[in-house]
Amino acid sequence: MTAETPIDALPRLGPGFGELRAGNLGVRVAAATAELEAIQALRYRIFYQEMGGKPSAEIAATGRDQDGFDAVADHLVVIDHAIGAGAAGVVGTYRLIRRPAARLIGRFYSESEYDIDAIRRFPGNILELGRSCVDAAYRNRAAMQLLWRGIAAYVFRHQIDLMFGCASLPGTDPAAVAGELSYLYDNHLAPPALRPRALAARYVDMRRIAPATLDARRALAQLPPLIKGYLRLGGFVGDGAVIDHDFNTIDVAVVVKTDLVTDKYYRHYERQLRDALD
């Protein structure tokens, strides 16, 4: 397979939604193998070189973060057209896995950390979000808003009813993020009908500081921007955190019903998204 082979030649499902632009930045679904390889290289730089993850020997040899889910996923990509219109311009990404794609693998990625039976039983269309990262030079309001616009476009295009996935806090010491974990559990725990639970062997109790003594404002301020973004969309968290030594993170499960997605990130762009699909 050459670098020019379309990703659609791989066993993946689903068309994209065109491209949404904000100045020289654009967001769309990756369309060629070279772009997927650039996405994997970006993930490697951020997850392993910047965040201190521990790559396997195979991943370290290739310099790309990759696994079996990549071939069946759709990959949202932010492109800086001032650098290039394709692989050369890749500066941000999100991995998107729908139910039909997960069937090709036999599971969702989150199931290595969480029991998601409640989500699997959800009758509507579900979407797993993961592997989100943005190049350090682009971690600004414009790039992050564009990623959310891309997610909204994808949700609109595929009529997604529920989004979920794992979001991360830095490091592997729960005591260092005790306030954040406690705040999430006390204020944003998912209802039982949608609540993932960390697998028993990996379960880390999130209830680490009593609500009466927790500085909720400070804990909220210390949450990573991605988790705060999910909360702004009306998101919930699952029961239990998971330590991921490979990525040097503490993960929490996040669930977002798309009917709670705010006007800013969805309804505000509905006309533009419709135009992109015409």
Give the per-residue pLDDT at 156: 84
Domain locations along the chain:
7-277
Give the per-residue pLDDT at 276: 45
- Complete DSSP assignment for 47-87: IIIIT-----HHHHHHT----GGGGTSEEEEEEETTT-SSG
**SS3 of the chain: helix, strand, coil, percent, to 5:** 45, 25, 30
CATH number of 7-277: 3.40.630.30
CA distance 108 to 120: 10
Give the per-residue pLDDT at 140: 85
Positions of the chain with pLDDT lower than 70, given as ranges: 1-15, 260-278
Give the per-residue pLDDT at 13: 38
Give the per-residue pLDDT at 3: 38
| DSSP for residue 114 | E
Burial class (CB in 10 A: 0-12, 13-18, 19+), 78: buried
Give the per-residue pLDDT at 260: 58
Give the per-residue pLDDT at 266: 53
Give the per-residue pLDDT at 179: 98
Residue 106 makes CB contacts below 8 A (sequence gap 6+) with: none
- Cut 0.85: pTM above it: yes
Give the per-residue pLDDT at 5: 40
